[in-house]
Structure formats: C-alpha cells, structure tokens
C-alpha cells in the first residue's frame, strides 16, 4: 500500500520533536537527559551572576528593607486610614542614609542604583503616583527574621496548637471510613503548619536555658559587685523557666494522646494508603517530647546550682545589710548648720542621687489679667433747697472774706501812710457798718495783730480798755500798731 | 522615620503622658503597684524605643531591673556616664532620715517579718528591735538620753510617716492608709548602697 504524498501531505517533524513526542507518550526513562523537559535546578539558578545578590541582600540593604518593613508593620497596627504602606523615594533614601551613609556627591547615583536593584524582588514601583511598596518576597524575608528574633515561649499558644491538632485529627478519623483522604489532608495541611511552630517553641525554650547558663558562666565573677544582681536575675529567669517547663506537662500529655490515636488508626485501617505519614507524625511527636524532656531535665539541673550560688551571695548580702544598718546608726550624727539641726550619715558613705524632675505648672488666676468691670457709681440725690442753702452760705463766706480783705488793705495803706494805727477805731467802725458785724470785726483785728506781731519793723502795743456808747456790750483794749 | 516606635503603639495617646510624668517624678514602675498596670505593660512592650528616646533626647537612662516579670521594675536614672542635659539641680538625693528608715525596712523584710502597716513598723522599731531604738531616737528626734518623752515619740513617728510617703511616691512601697505593701523596687535602695554593704567589714 502506498500513500500518494501529493494527495496526503504529512508534516515531517524534526528528530528532536519526534523524540520529545515519544517521551511524552511512553514515558521512556532512557531518553537523553538533555532532551527531557528542562528540570529546575535550584543551586544552579541561585549561583547565576546577580541572582544571589538580588535575593539575599547584604547587611546594609537588609537593614534598610527592615526599616521599611517596620514602618509598614507599625502603620498597619495603628488606626490610621492613610495608605502608609506606600513609601516615597525620599523615604527609601532616608533609610539608606541611616544604614549606608555615603558622601554627598556619590549619594544620588549610588542610591538610585540600589533602588533600581531592589525593584527586582523587594519593591513595587507605582509609576503613576511615584510611590513604592514592599513586595511579598520582601515581607516574607523580613517576617522570617522578625519572628525568629521576637520569639517567645508561649505555653498558652502551644497548648492551643495541640488542642486544635487533636480536634482536627478526631474530625479526620471520624470521616476516614468514607474518605481516607481527610487524614492525608490533616497530615499535609494541619500537621505541617503546626510542626514548624511547635519546633520553634521548643527551640526558644532551649535557647533561653542556654542563655541563662551562658550568663551565669560568663558574668559571674566572685568579686564583682554585680554578682548578686546577675545571680538574682539568673535565679529569676530559672524560676520562670521552671514555670514554663511545668506548662510542658500538657504538651507531653497531648503528644501522647495524638500518638495513641495514630497507633489505633494504623492497626484499624489499611495504613499503606497513608504512605509514611503516620510514622512521620509519630516520630516528630516523639522527638519533640524527648527534646522537651531534655530541656526540663537541664533546667532542673542548673536550678539548684544557680540557687546555691545565689543563696550564698544573697545570705551574705542580707547579713551585710544588717551590719550596714548598725554601722549607719552608730556612726551617723546630728550637726548644727545655719541654726538648724541636720542628720549626717558617715562620711565614707557616698551621697546617692535619685533622678527626680521637678515639673511645676504655675497656675495663673484669670482675675489677674482680666480688666475689672466698671463699678456703678451711685450719685446721691441732692435736694434743691439744700443746694440753694449751700450756695448761699458759700456766697456769704466769699463776700465776708472780700470785705475782710478790703478792711485789711485799707488799714495797711493807712499804716504805711501815717505810720501808726489804732485798731479800736476799725473795730467799732466795722460794728457800725453792718448788723451783727462782731465776728468780722474780731476777725479783722485778730488778723492785724497776728500779721504785725511778727513783723520786725512794726510794733504792737496793747493799751487801756476802750468803750463806745453806741456799742455798750462791746469793749476792746486799745491796740496801736506802729511802724 | 525614627526609632521611637512607641509613638505608634495604639496606647501611646492614652498612656505615654502618664508614663513620662511618672518616670520623671522619680517613681519606679512595676506590675504590682496598683494604678501602674497600663504604664508597666506599655513600658514592657516598648522598652527599647523608650530607652532610645530618653537617652538620645535627654541623656537619661531608662533602666530595667529585678529580672523577669514578677520582680521587674523600671526607673529613670541620670548616671555619671550618660551625658546629662538635665541641670544638676534637678537631681535630688534621698533624705538621710529616709535612708535610715528604708534600710531598716529592708532589714525587717529580710527577717521575714509580717509587718504590713506603718503603725506595725513603728511598734517593731520600739519593741522587736530595741537595740536600734535609742540610735533612731537620737538621729530622728535629736534625743541624747534614753528617756523618751511623748514629744520625742511623735517626732520619730513624724519622720517615719514622711519616709513612707516618700517611699510611696518613689514606688518602693504601695501605701493605702496605714497599710503598705513592699514593692520589688525597694531593692534599689540596697543596690544604691551595694558597694558599702558588700564592703561593710572594711568600712567598720
């Protein structure tokens, strides 16, 4: 049988294409390695030029990215509604300045290059807004380090992990007759997630014990004044570790419980369908409880040792405190200074200072600064009659004074002209000139006497009593003023 | 961007001012002191950034002492080695009478005494620690004889009251009326005199 190729054209593959097609169909493992679909080689990929450096940053760049991560974390934990997970280029330069100080003239170029390089795996650039965000790889990169450094032993959290594991295992086992894949899912998903965290917690506890032991070994020096402090801290750390170790009891019981369930499962079902999963989980739990057991034993071994050291020093310190009190009481004295009695401690005890900031707020009374309100002045009501009478009296006084002044001037002129004057004449003259002129007459005479008595160029002589028939009730001594 | 992350703590607005005033007053902060719980937790969470804040801006040293959790306490210190931008006149030394009374308080705590009232403390001084009584009266009431009048008793009592008020203010004891509770930070008094206490045999 012949095929007329002119009627039935067929496509001729290359030899390579043919081999690939045969491999796909028949899965021939003896095919040449180079002709297989290319397999991913992690080591080779990582070794390629620039790949490693773009994925694993040096110290300065790692710290710069950590700063950005920290800022993003802080912003996410606050209530701010701002889109603070975006950074400006200046923010990134700030971080770089902090961790990689560079001379001004080289700074721009160098930082630009770094920012470009970081965009491969660490930063997204939003060209429209001109902002940057961390890529998921950067977050994972930082989160791994953050969790590693921030790790604390959290017994409550660990208990919860085991509780959840047991609950989810029970649920999977209940369904296993209908669907055995639920158990596979439990191992591959629930267990695998918890395994990392459980391992971390064990490691944290172990590291804490190591740290405590290292501190005691390196920092405890017999003559050091800090010895007591160091031992006190170590002793307290160990007490806390003991507390944490006691929490491990729950974990031991929970692990045992899970392993029992797995044992039962193994005997009950055709465990081959699960592969080595049951063994894997059991072995992990066994290793974990062994590690925790070792940690607990270690804590229990170092505790008495540290306690012994601490107690000896503590006892000595306590004893010395009593001696110090006695020393203070016997050697302190009361002295007189500036008129007051003050207590002085022994001269070989140095004065100790405690920091106390005197924060004082001066509260000002508002009244000091506020202009007082105007006071309402109540003017007394004055009656018209009283007013008139007052005016009249005033006018009379003015008139009287005017008249007295006229008399005085007149008399003074006479004295200056003649050189002598008899006051009795003016006295009676005034009495004659007006009704009830006694007061005025007396006033005039009195003023004249007062004036001329103190004038050295005048003499005042007092003579006999003078009477006048027209004024029988008035008498006056003759008073002569001579210049 | 700065290292003062405590400013981003959700409780910063409500707690930081109180924390700052408390520390600056010279008060020691610990978990057991009633009313300081929030301040203590904030300090615990943000210790490193607060330490940096006080050191960089004020030359003050924020110290953590006492070990972990239950015994830990915090306080501000202006040490000789730290560049101190706060004027020297803001350093205050503990009253000497308070030093004597405080060391005596440490002593009766060491002796596992169950004294927990100020009146009980006064009684302990007069009855259980008679060997110290005359010296205390001499130094606190300026009495030179063994014959103590009512006025002398009152002088000593007054000093003890003042000392306990000072200790409460410093956070060394928690006082409520006549009752008091010794705080972990009382240990600081002994640690201030640690050189003298450790070398007491050379001093005497």
- pLDDT 10s digits, A375-418: 888 888 878 898 999 999 999 999 999 999 999 999 889 888 88
Mutate to test the interface with A, among B68, B93, B97, B162 (most CBs of A within 10 A): B68
Q: Say whether pLDDT at B74 is over 50.
A: yes
CB contact under 8 A, A94 and B1: yes
| Alpha-carbon span B99 to B76, nearest angstrom | 19
CA–CA gap between residue A163 and residue A170 (Å, rounded): 11
Write a three-state SS string for chain A: CCCCCCCCCCCCCCHHHHHHHHHHHHCCCCCCHHHCCCCCCHHHHHHCCCHHHHHCCCHHHHHHHHHHHHHHHHHHHCCCCCCCCCEEHHHHHHHHHHHCCCCHHHHHHHHHHHHHHHCCCCEEEECCCCEEEECHHHHHHHHHHHHHHHCCCCHHHHHHHHHHHHHHHHHHHHCCCCCCHHHHHHHHHHHHHHHHHHHHHHHHHHHHHHHHHHHHHHHCCCCCCCHHHHHHHHHHHHHHHHHHHHHHHHHHHHHHHHHHHHHHHHHHCCHHHHCCHHHHHHHHHHHHHHHHHHHHHHHHHHHHHHHHHHHHHHHHHHHHHHHHHHHHHHHCEEEEECCEEEEECCCCCCCCEEECCCCCCCCCCHHHCCCCCCCCCCCCCCCHHHHHHHHHHHHHHHHHHHHHHHHHHHHHHHHHHHCEEEHHHHHHHHHHHCCCCHHHHHHHHHHHHHHHHCCCCCEEEEEEEEEECCEEEEEEEEEEEEC
Taking CB atoms and an 8 Å cutoff, what residues of chain A touch B141?
Answer: none
The greatest distance separating any two alpha carbons of chain B, rounded to the nearest whole angstrom, comes to 69
CA distance B179 to chain A (A): 24
Contacts A328 to B, Cβ<8 Å: 99-100, 103
Average pLDDT over residues B96-118: 91
Closest CA of chain A from B37, distance in Å: 20
Which residues in chain A have their CB less than 8 angstroms from residue B158's CB? none
* Contact indicator for B76, B54 with CB cutoff of 8 Å: yes
User: ipTM for the complex?
Assistant: 0.91
pLDDT per position as a tens digit, A275-305: 688 888 888 988 888 888 888 777 777 777 7
* Highest mean pLDDT: which range of A59-73, A136-150, B41-55, B153-167: B153-167
A349/B193 CB distance under 8 A? yes
Q: Provide the CA A277 distance to its chain's centre, in angstroms.
A: 53
Q: Which of B71, B191, B197 sits opposite A320 (nearest CB)?
A: B197
Cβ of residue B58 closer than 8 Å to a chain A Cβ: no
Q: Give the one of A78, A334, A359 whose C-beta lies nearest to B10's C-beta.
A: A78
Q: Of A271, A110, A321, A375, which Cα lies nearest the Cα of B108?
A: A321
Distance CA A89, CA A371 (A): 56
pLDDT of residue A13: 45
Each residue of B182-198: pLDDT tens digit?
999 999 999 999 989 98
Rounded mean pLDDT, B51-59: 87
R_g of chain A computed on alpha carbons:
59
What confidence tier does A457 reach under pLDDT thresholds 50, 70, 90? confident
Put simply, the answer to whether B132 touches A329 (Cβ < 8 Å) is yes
Rounded to an integer, the average pLDDT of A118-133 is 91
Q: CB–CB of A426/A411 below 8 Å?
A: yes
Does residue B17 belong to the interface with chain A, where contact is any CB pair within 8 Å? Answer: no
Q: Residue B23, exposed/middle/buried by CB under 10 A (0-12, 13-18, 19+)?
A: buried
Q: For position A2, what pLDDT does the model report? A: 40
Q: Which residues contact A478 (CB under 8 A, 6 or more apart)?
A: A422, A423, A424, A462, A463, A464, A465, A466
Tokens 């959700």 belong to residue? B10
Asked if A236's CB is within 8 angstroms of B70's CB, the reply is: yes
Among candidates A424, A421, A398, which has minimal Cα distance to A409? A421
Q: Is the pLDDT of residue B135 over 90?
A: yes
Q: Which residues pair with B74 in a beta bridge?
A: B29, B64
Contact present, B90 and A356 (Cβ < 8 Å):
yes
B10–A233 CB contact, under 8 Å:
no
So what's the pLDDT on residue A27? 44
pLDDT of B118 over the 90 cut: yes
User: Touching check for B151 and chain A: CB below 8 Å?
Assistant: no
Alpha-helical segments (H) within chain B: 12-24, 37-45, 47-58, 96-110, 118-127, 130-140, 150-170, 187-192, 194-198, 200-203
Q: Calculate the average pLDDT of chain B.
A: 87
Would the pLDDT of B60 be above 70? yes
Per-residue pLDDT at B86 exceeds 70: no
End-to-end Cα separation, chain B, in angstroms: 55
Q: Enumerate the residues of chain A whose CB falls inside 8 A of the CB of residue B110.
A: 318, 321-322
pLDDT of amino acid A84: 55
CB contact under 8 A, B198 and A320: yes
Predicted confidence (pLDDT) per residue in A298-309, tens digit: 777 777 777 677
Residue B126 pLDDT > 60, yes or no?
yes
**CB neighbourhood size of B87 (10 A):** 8
Q: If we measure between CA atoms, which residue out of A334, A329, A232, A317 comes closest to residue B193?
A: A317
Q: Looking at residue A72, what is its pLDDT?
A: 85
Q: Across residues A108-137, what is the average pLDDT?
A: 91
Using an 8 Å CB-CB cutoff, list chain B residues near A225.
194-195, 198
pLDDT band for position B202 (50/70/90)? Answer: confident
How far apart (Å, rounded) are the C-alpha atoms in residues A344 and A351? Answer: 10
A137 Cα to chain B: minimum distance (Å): 22
Rounded CA gap, A226 and B155, in Å? 38
Interchain proximity A355–B60, CB inside 8 Å: yes
Burial of B33 (0-12, 13-18, 19+ CB in 10 A): buried
Q: Give yes or no for B91 touching A (CB within 8 A).
A: yes
Residues from chain A contacting residue B25 (CB–CB below 8 Å): 356-357, 359
């Amino acid at each position: 049988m012949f095929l007329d190729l002119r009627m039935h054209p067929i496509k001729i593959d290359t030899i390579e294409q043919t081999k690939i097609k045969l491999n796909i169909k028949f899965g021939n493992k003896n095919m040449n390695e180079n002709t297989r679909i290319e397999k991913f080689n992690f080591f080779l990929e990582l070794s390629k030029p620039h790949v490693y450096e773009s994925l694993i940053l040096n110290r300065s760049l790692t710290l710069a990215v950590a700063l950005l991560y920290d800022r993003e974390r802080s912003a996410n934990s606050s209530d701010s509604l701002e889109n603070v997970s975006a950074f400006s280029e200046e923010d990134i330069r700030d971080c770089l300045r902090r961790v990689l100080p560079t001379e001004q003239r080289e700074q721009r170029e160098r930082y630009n290059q770094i920012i470009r390089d970081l965009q491969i795996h660490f930063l997204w650039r939003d060209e429209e807004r001109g902002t940057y965000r961390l890529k998921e790889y950067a977050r994972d990169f930082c989160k791994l380090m953050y969790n590693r450094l921030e790790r604390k032993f959290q017994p409550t959290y660990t208990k919860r992990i085991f509780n959840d594991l047991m609950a989810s295992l029970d649920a999977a086992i209940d369904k296993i007759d209908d669907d055995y894949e639920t158990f596979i899912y439990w191992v591959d998903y629930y267990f695998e997630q918890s395994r990392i965290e459980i391992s971390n917690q064990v490691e944290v506890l172990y590291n804490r014990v190591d740290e405590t032991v290292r501190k005691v070994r390196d920092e405890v020096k017999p003559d050091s004044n800090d010895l007591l402090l160091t031992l006190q801290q170590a002793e307290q750390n160990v007490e806390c570790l003991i507390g944490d170790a006691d929490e491990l009891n729950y974990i031991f019981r929970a692990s045992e419980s899970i392993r029992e369930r797995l044992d039962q499962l193994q005997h009950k079902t055709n465990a081959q369908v699960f592969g080595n999963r049951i063994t894997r989980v059991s072995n992990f739990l066994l290793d974990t409880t062994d590690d925790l057991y070792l940690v607990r034993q270690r804590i229990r071994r170092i505790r008495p040792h540290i306690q012994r050291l601490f107690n000896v020093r503590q006892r000595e310190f306590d004893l010395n405190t009593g001696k110090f009190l006695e020393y203070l009481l016997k050697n302190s004295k009361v002295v007189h200074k500036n008129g007051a009695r003050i207590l002085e401690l022994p001269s070989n005890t140095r004065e100790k200072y405690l920091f106390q900031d005197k924060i004082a707020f001066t509260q000002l009374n508002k009244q000091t600064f506020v202009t007082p309100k105007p006071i309402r002045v109540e003017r007394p009501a004055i009656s018209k009659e009283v007013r008139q009478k007052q005016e009249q009296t005033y006018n009379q006084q003015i008139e009287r004074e005017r008249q007295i002044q006229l008399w005085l001037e007149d008399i003074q002129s006479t004295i200056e002209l003649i050189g002598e004057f008899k006051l009795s004449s003016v006295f009676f003259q005034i009495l004659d000139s007006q009704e009830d002129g006694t007061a005025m007459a007396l006033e005039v005479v009195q003023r004249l006497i007062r004036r001329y008595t103190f004038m050295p160029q005048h003499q005042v002589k007092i003579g006999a009593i003078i009477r006048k028939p027209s004024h029988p009730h008035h008498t006056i001594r003759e008073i002569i003023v001579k210049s | 961007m700065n290292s003062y992350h405590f400013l981003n703590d959700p409780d910063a607005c409500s707690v930081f001012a109180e924390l700052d005033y408390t520390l600056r007053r010279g008060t020691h902060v610990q978990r057991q002191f009633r009313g300081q719980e929030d301040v203590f937790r904030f300090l615990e969470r943000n210790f490193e950034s607060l330490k940096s804040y006080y050191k960089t801006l004020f030359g003050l040293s924020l110290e953590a002492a006492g070990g972990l959790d239950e015994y830990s306490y915090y306080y501000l210190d202006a040490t000789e080695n730290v560049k101190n931008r706060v004027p020297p006149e803001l350093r205050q030394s503990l009253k000497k009478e308070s030093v004597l009374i405080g060391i005596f308080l440490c002593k009766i705590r060491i002796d596992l005494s169950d004294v927990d009232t100020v009146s009980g403390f006064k009684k302990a001084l007069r009855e259980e620690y008679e060997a110290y009584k005359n010296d205390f009266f001499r130094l606190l009431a300026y009495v030179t004889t063994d014959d103590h009048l009512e006025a002398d008793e009152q002088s000593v009592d007054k000093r003890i009251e003042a000392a306990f008020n000072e200790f409460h203010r410093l956070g060394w004891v928690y006082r409520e009326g006549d009752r008091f509770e010794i705080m972990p930070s009382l240990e600081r008094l002994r640690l201030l005199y640690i050189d003298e206490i450790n070398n007491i045999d050379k001093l005497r």
